């Protein structure tokens, strides 16, 4: 009954068009003050302590780094490098777009930022070369989703924050700890590269089928020049992932390092960003960070209410008692998350659903790292399908295409992503191979 009241109130407020963060806060406050005896000072304390976690500091730094890179010419140099390598293949510019999105994803941590940075440069070039606009929009919209799967990833940080500190028990009653940001980052490498490969194959196959334009093969000297110009941006990938794996710094410290590094190469190495433009980048980053932190604060309060009413534990016990197997549970989770993607953006979904589903997953013997990556892939798919797919709206702003037309355009790549989701869901070795190999699990 408590669960019905809480979720009924939340859905009712969301249907009014109220922002999700405010709907979360009002639902929690309304229930706590009318249905429980929780002191008001406890609520106030939770609001402040909810964003005191060290991992959360990574979010504004990754956002800042992504904004510096977007304005600093890094994306253009990555596109030139990718084009020099694969431009002579069928659909060369489209393949270059997939590779450039994967490279930019490895330094930005945000899908919309990847779509903007790569799409604004490569889409006009594709149309000019004779590619159908729908083809280019489909490639960039879906490949941009790699921004939250290839580390660093803001959504992975949010999953780690949403599940950290939870006391959960495994199928044999043992205490299971939640996944760390570092584990999730390393676990995302193989799935990210695999999805980039599958999207590239889809692009190549469609381009070959319809005989889309190819570019002249670049010489090895041209490829070397393109690589040399892009090297400063590519080095950031090594700094972030290498630094975390070797233990030189934590993921949060890696985020701070990436922001400083991105500032230096944008302003003083590439010189595409003027010092007079830096305040605008800082303000834009602060606005986005404040929005996400406000959502996190209210989501932490919502998680506190769930824990206080023991709803996740009751849900887990009920599912185990009904004999629900782990594979049936994963089907249900995929359906719930994909359905939620029709109405909510990824940050809110992860922060609301992860604390509820995580204890149940652990109770059924599902690895926390595998479960986290599966949720991230669901969020990727959600960003590319209507009506609230963030990447669709970003791509619509770039291409001036309607959402319906874009939905048709992304369909071949979206089907590829759904097939990939099934693979990640039921073959956990794809996710867990690298962390285990590196001794992180």
Identify the band that residue 50 occupies on the pLDDT scale cut at 50, 70 and 90. low
Q: Read off the pLDDT of residues 209-230 as tens digits, 9 standing for 90 and up.
A: 999 988 889 999 999 999 999 9
Residue 142 lies in a domain: yes
Report the sign of the C-alpha dihedral through residues 245, 250, 255, 257, in that order: negative
**pLDDT reported for residue 383:** 84
Please give the average per-residue pLDDT across 410-431, as a whole number.
94
Please give the average per-residue pLDDT across 58-69, as a whole number.
86
Number of domains in the chain: 1
CA 330 to chain centre: 19
Range of the domain at 69: 56-437
Which residues pair with residue 168 across a beta bridge? 176
CA 428 to chain centre: 19
Closest by CA to 191, choosing from 332, 374, 62, is 374
Residue 18 lies in a domain: no
**pLDDT reported for residue 412:** 93
Residue 266 lies in a domain: yes
- In a 3-state reduction of DSSP, which class is residue 272? coil
Report the sign of the C-alpha dihedral through residues 144, 146, 148, 150, in that order: negative
Which residues pair with residue 140 across a beta bridge? none
CB 89 within 8 A of CB 95: yes
pLDDT tops 80 at residue 256: yes
Residues 105 and 123: their CA atoms lie apart, in Å, by 17
pTM value? 0.86
Residue 157 lies in a domain: yes
pLDDT tops 90 at residue 291: no
pLDDT tops 70 at residue 388: no
Residue 24 lies in a domain: no
Residues 175 and 183: their CA atoms lie apart, in Å, by 18
Dihedral angle of Cα 317, 320, 323, 325, to the nearest 10 degrees: 140
Residue 22 lies in a domain: no
Please give the average per-residue pLDDT across 36-41, as a whole number.
76
Identify the band that residue 96 occupies on the pLDDT scale cut at 50, 70 and 90. very high
Identify the band that residue 75 occupies on the pLDDT scale cut at 50, 70 and 90. confident
Residue 30 lies in a domain: no
Task: Sort 276 into a burial class: Cβ within 10 Å, 0-12 / 13-18 / 19+.
Answer: exposed
**pLDDT reported for residue 1:** 67
Task: Tell me what the pLDDT averaged over the chain comes to.
Answer: 86
pLDDT tops 80 at residue 202: yes
**pLDDT reported for residue 323:** 73
Tokens 């990210």 map to which residue? 192
Q: And the tokens for 50?
A: 């909810």
C-alpha separations of 286 from 60, 65, 226 in Å: 7, 12, 33
Q: What are phi and psi of 46, to 5 degrees?
A: -65, -35
Closest by CA to 320, choosing from 366, 368, 351, 355, is 366
- In a 3-state reduction of DSSP, which class is residue 417? helix
Task: Report the interhelical angle of 92-108 vs 58-71 (nearest 10°).
Answer: 140
Residue 315 lies in a domain: yes
Please give the average per-residue pLDDT across 275-286, as a whole number.
90
Q: Read off the pLDDT of residues 402-417 as tens digits, 9 standing for 90 and up.
A: 878 888 889 999 999 9
**pLDDT reported for residue 192:** 94
CB 180 within 8 A of CB 50: no
């Amino acid at each position: 009954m408590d669960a019905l009241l809480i979720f009924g109130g939340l859905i009712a407020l969301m249907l009014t068009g109220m922002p999700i963060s405010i709907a979360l806060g009002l639902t929690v406050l309304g229930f706590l003050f009318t249905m429980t005896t929780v002191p008001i000072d406890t609520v106030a304390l939770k609001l402040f302590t909810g964003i005191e976690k060290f991992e959360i500091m990574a979010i504004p730094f990754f956002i800042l780094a992504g904004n510096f890179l977007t304005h600093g010419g890094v994306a253009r140099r990555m596109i030139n490098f990718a084009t020099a390598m694969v431009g002579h293949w069928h659909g060369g510019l489209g393949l270059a777009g997939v590779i450039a999105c994967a490279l930019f994803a490895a330094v930005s941590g945000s899908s919309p930022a990847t779509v903007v940075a790569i799409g604004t440069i490569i889409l006009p070039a594709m149309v000019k070369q004779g590619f159908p606009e729908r083809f280019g929009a489909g490639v960039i919209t879906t490949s941009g989703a790699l921004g939250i799967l290839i580390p660093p990833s803001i959504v992975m940080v949010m999953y780690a924050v949403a599940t950290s500190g939870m006391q959960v028990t495994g199928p044999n009653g043992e205490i299971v700890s939640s996944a760390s940001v570092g584990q999730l980052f390393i676990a995302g490498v193989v799935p990210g590269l695999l999805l980039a490969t599958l999207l590239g194959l889809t692009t190549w196959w469609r381009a070959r089928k319809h005989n889309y334009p190819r570019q002249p093969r670049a010489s090895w000297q041209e490829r070397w020049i393109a690589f040399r110009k892009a090297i400063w941006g590519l080095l950031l990938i090594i700094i972030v992932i290498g630094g975390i794996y070797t233990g030189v710094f934590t993921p949060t410290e890696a985020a701070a390092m990436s922001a400083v590094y991105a500032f230096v190469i944008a302003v003083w190495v590439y010189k595409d960003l003027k010092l007079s433009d830096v305040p605008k980048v800082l303000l834009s980053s602060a606005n986005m960070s404040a929005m996400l932190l406000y959502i996190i604060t209210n989501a932490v309060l919502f998680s506190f209410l769930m824990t206080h009413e023991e709803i996740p534990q009751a849900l887990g016990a009920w599912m185990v008692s009904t004999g629900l197997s782990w594979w049936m549970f994963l089907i249900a989770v995929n359906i719930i998350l994909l359905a939620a993607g029709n109405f909510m953006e990824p940050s809110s979904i992860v922060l609301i659903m992860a604390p509820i589903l995580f204890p149940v997953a652990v109770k059924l013997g599902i690895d926390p790292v595998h479960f986290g990556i599966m949720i991230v892939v669901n969020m990727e798919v959600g960003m590319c399908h209507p009506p609230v797919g963030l990447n669709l709206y970003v791509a619509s702003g770039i291409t001036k295409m309607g959402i319906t037309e874009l939905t048709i355009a992304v369909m071949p790549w979206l089907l590829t992503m759904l097939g990939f989701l099934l693979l990640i869901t039921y073959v956990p070795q794809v996710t867990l191979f690298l962390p285990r190999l590196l001794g992180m699990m």
